[in-house]
Amino acid sequence: MAWSSHYLNRTWAARFLLLALAICGIAQNRVTGSQSAVAESAALQSGTTMQCDAGLSRHSLHAAALEETSAAASKPSSDPQSTPDGMVWIPGGRFWMGTNHMEDAQPVHQVEVKGFWMDRNDVTNQEFAAFVKATGYVTIAERPLDPKEFPNLGSDELAPGSVVFTPPDHPVSLEHPLVWWSFVRGANWRHPNGPGSDLRGKAKYPVVQVAWPDAVAYAKWTGKRLPTEAEWEFAARGGRDRQDYPWGNDFRPNGKWMANTFQGHFPDHNTAEDGYSGIAPVETFPPNNYGLYDMAGNVWQWVSDWYRPDYYAELSQKGTVAVNPQGPSDSFDPQERGVAKRVQKGGSYLCTDQYCERYIAGSRGKGDPETGTNHLGFRCVREQQ
């Protein structure tokens, strides 16, 4: 349901300072430091710069909905005998990971990854439907909320649903993301925007409304896995080390749109100058040098790592090249303490220089693993056989 700015300003002003930056990994906190409890406490007390919504869990958003209700690289191998269907070979190597544009993606540090296969595209609705048909799998968004996880909700408030972008019809303050995000009952991968939406004509669109465990389940079924954050970023750069985008440093080379992002006035009016006001089919925009599509914009992508804003600092302090880093052993998000987050990469069709530039190579998203949205998908990798 929609959120009025009057209601939000009156009821949620105190909570927004902690929560408004948090919807499913769009933008991030600005805190770095050690992984000690002292550093965590300091991070919570420090100010942060708002830029995009960042990883808000369904716990917070569902509570809000209820209250509103009641109130230059080597090309990949193209040998068909050695190439798994729909994948490209990423040769591996050493690169500079992170970006100076985002505080939680600093310091930029050297990383080395081994070669691996990666899906050319995000997993599509057609591919995910085949998985569900074969296994009978039910996604988290299709399951009733667990009363143990939501002990304060009545039985009639545990209906399944998920997070949906619901743009206002007029300009609004960018300080209150719940104006344009809602917990919608009945929203899931089959109905990405809620019960009135479906997948007709969208077989080749990225599947969305998929939580992290759903993505892991699909990956296991295919004999693959989710990429690490380092693998994903190395692949996204396509050999263009320390550049702003997978295609270089010019956002629109020769005036050409290279990714599906937000144009117009965020969040109320997308002029769709790139041809799309929402998600685009896979392979709509040009691939990077490795032949991978949509490594910036369109939909966010889950990776395997836990999220901590100080993880890059920890790696850098070791003074050596990080080889195949697997991420931190736990999660800490100073903007939503107590909710573990997984890293998301790539940005989405909602990213814009007015509010969120997480399509920049090296930037990071974050999200509650149990929370999907209508701008969040994934792709898989596998080792060389």
Domain ranges of the chain: 5-76+87-382
Check residues 72 and 215 and name the one with the higher pLDDT. 215
Q: Is the pLDDT of residue 17 over 70?
A: no
User: What is the mean predicted confidence (pLDDT) over 102-129?
Assistant: 97
Q: Give the pLDDT of residue 59.
A: 56
Which pLDDT tens digit goes with each residue over 170-188?
999 998 898 999 999 999 9
Q: Which of these ranges, 1-5, 54-58, 265-269, has the smallest mean pLDDT?
A: 1-5
Classify residue 361 by burial, with Cβ atoms within 10 Å: 0-12, 13-18, 19+: buried
Is the pLDDT reported for residue 76 higher than 70?
Answer: no
In CATH, the number for domain 5-76+87-382 is 3.90.1580.10
Residue found by looking up tokens 């690490």 in the block: 228
Q: How far apart are CA 192 and CA 201, in angstroms?
A: 13
Q: Using an 8 Å Cβ cutoff, are 345 and 365 in contact?
A: yes
Exposed, middle or buried: residue 342 (CB in 10 Å: 0-12, 13-18, 19+)?
buried
- Within its chain, how far is the Cα of 125 from the centroid? 17
pLDDT at 155 over 90: no
In this prediction, residue 48 has a pLDDT band, given cuts at 50, 70 and 90, of very low
What average pLDDT does range 244-253 have in this prediction?
97
Give the rounded percent of residues in the chain with a pLDDT score beyond 70: 79
Average pLDDT, the chain: 84
Q: Using CA of residue 353, residue 359, residue 365, residue 367, what is the dihedral sign?
A: positive
384 confidence band (pLDDT: 50, 70, 90): confident
CA–CA distance, 143 with 52 (Å, rounded to integer): 28
Any idea which residue has 């430091």 for tokens? 33
* 3-class DSSP assignment, residue 317: helix
Residue 350 has pLDDT above 60, yes or no: yes
pLDDT of residue 16: 29
The predicted pLDDT at position 210 comes to 98
How many whole angstroms separate alpha carbon 378 and alpha carbon 385? 22
Q: Is the pLDDT of residue 194 over 70?
A: yes
Write the pLDDT tens digit of every residue in 262-276: 999 999 999 999 999
Asked if 238 and 362 touch (Cβ cutoff 8 Å), the reply is no
**What pLDDT sits at residue 176?**
87
Task: Determine contact, residues 59/368, Cβ cutoff 8 Å.
Answer: yes
CA 110 to chain centroid, in Å, comes to 23
Residue 385 confidence (pLDDT): 74
Least confident of 79-88, 103-112, 182-191, 303-312: 79-88
Work out the number of other CB atoms within 10 angstroms of the CB of residue 72: 9
pLDDT at 229 (0 to 100): 98
Which two three-digit tokens encode residue 331?
Answer: 């999660």
Read off the tokens for 283.
Answer: 């392979």
Name the pLDDT band for 23 (thresholds 50, 70, 90).
very low
Buried b (16+ CB within 10 A) or exposed e, 116-132: bbbbbbbbbbebbeebb
Strands in the chain per DSSP E:
87-90, 93-97, 109-113, 116-119, 161-165, 181-185, 264-265, 269-270, 300-306, 322-323, 342-345, 365-367, 376-377, 381-382
The SS3 of residue 290 is: coil
Instruction: Write down the H helix ranges in the chain.
Output: 5-11, 13-19, 37-45, 58-70, 125-135, 212-221, 229-237, 311-317
Residue 328 structure tokens? 């931190």
Per-residue pLDDT, averaged over 134-159, amounts to 91
Whether the Cβ atoms of residue 335 and residue 21 lie closer than 8 Å to each other: yes
DSSP 33-67: --SSHHHHHHHHHS-----S---B-HHHHHHHHHH
Question: Tell me, what's the pLDDT at 22?
Answer: 37
Of 231, 182, 202, 234, the C-alpha closest to 299 is: 202
Amino acid letter, 275: G
Is residue 189 pLDDT above 80, yes or no? yes
Residue with structure tokens 């006001």?
277
Q: What is the pLDDT of residue 136?
A: 98
